[in-house]
Amino acid sequence: MQNFTLENARAGDRAELLDYLQNAFLTNDPNHARFEALYPDLFHATDEAMARHRIIREDGKIRACVGWYPMDVRVGACKVRVYGIGQVSCAPELRKGGRMTALLSDVCAKMDASGAPLAWLSGWRPRYANFGWEAVGTNLHSSIDKRSLPEPEPGWRVEEIDASQLGTLDALSRTASAFEETSAEIRLERMTRGGKQHRVFKASRDNDVKAMCVMQAGEGADLYEWAGDNAGIHAIIAHVLKTQKNVSVTYSPIDSAARMFWDYASTFNSSLTMLRICDFGALVKSYAPILEKRIPAGKGITLEIEGGASVKIGTPAGDKITLNRLSMTRLIFGPVAPSVAFNLKDNLRWLDQVFPLPFILPNLSHV
Ligand X SMILES: CC(C)(COP(=O)(O)OP(=O)(O)OC[C@H]1O[C@@H](n2cnc3c(N)ncnc32)[C@H](O)[C@@H]1OP(=O)(O)O)[C@@H](O)C(=O)NCCC(=O)NCCS
Residues of the shown chain interacting with ligand X in the complex, contacts defined by CB under 6 A: 1, 24-25, 27-28, 64, 88-90, 95-101, 123, 127, 130
Alpha-carbon 67 to chain mean position: 15
Smallest separation (angstroms) from ligand X to the CB of 87? 8
Smallest separation (angstroms) from ligand X to the CB of 223? 25
Q: Which of 87, 85, 103, 130 is nearest to 3 (CA)?
A: 103
Q: DSSP labels for 19-49?
A: HHHHHHHTTT-TTPPPHHHH-GGG--SSHHH
189: which residues sit within 8 A by CB, 6+ positions away?
40, 41
Distance CA 40, CA 61 (A): 23
Nearer to ligand X, 122 or 192 (CB): 122
Smallest separation (angstroms) from ligand X to the CB of 333? 20
Nearer to ligand X, 98 or 308 (CB): 98
Nearer to ligand X, 89 or 173 (CB): 89
Per the CB < 8 A criterion, the answer to whether 245 and 354 are in contact is no
The one-letter code for the residue type at 21 is L
Nearer to ligand X, 249 or 274 (CB): 274
Smallest separation (angstroms) from ligand X to the CB of 68? 13
Nearer to ligand X, 88 or 108 (CB): 88
Per the CB < 8 A criterion, the answer to whether 356 and 162 are in contact is no
Smallest separation (angstroms) from ligand X to the CB of 108? 13
Smallest separation (angstroms) from ligand X to the CB of 237? 32
Distance CA 325, CA 320 (A): 15
Burial 342-364 (b: 16+ CB within 10 A, else e): bebeeeeebbbebbbbbbbbbbb
Smallest separation (angstroms) from ligand X to the CB of 100? 3
Nearer to ligand X, 105 or 204 (CB): 105
Q: What is the CA radius of gyration of the chain?
A: 22
Distance CA 32, CA 51 (A): 24
Nearer to ligand X, 95 or 157 (CB): 95
Smallest separation (angstroms) from ligand X to the CB of 62? 12
Nearer to ligand X, 64 or 116 (CB): 64
Q: Using alpha carbons, list the distances in angstroms from residue 364 to 127, 187, 218, 313.
A: 24, 7, 16, 33
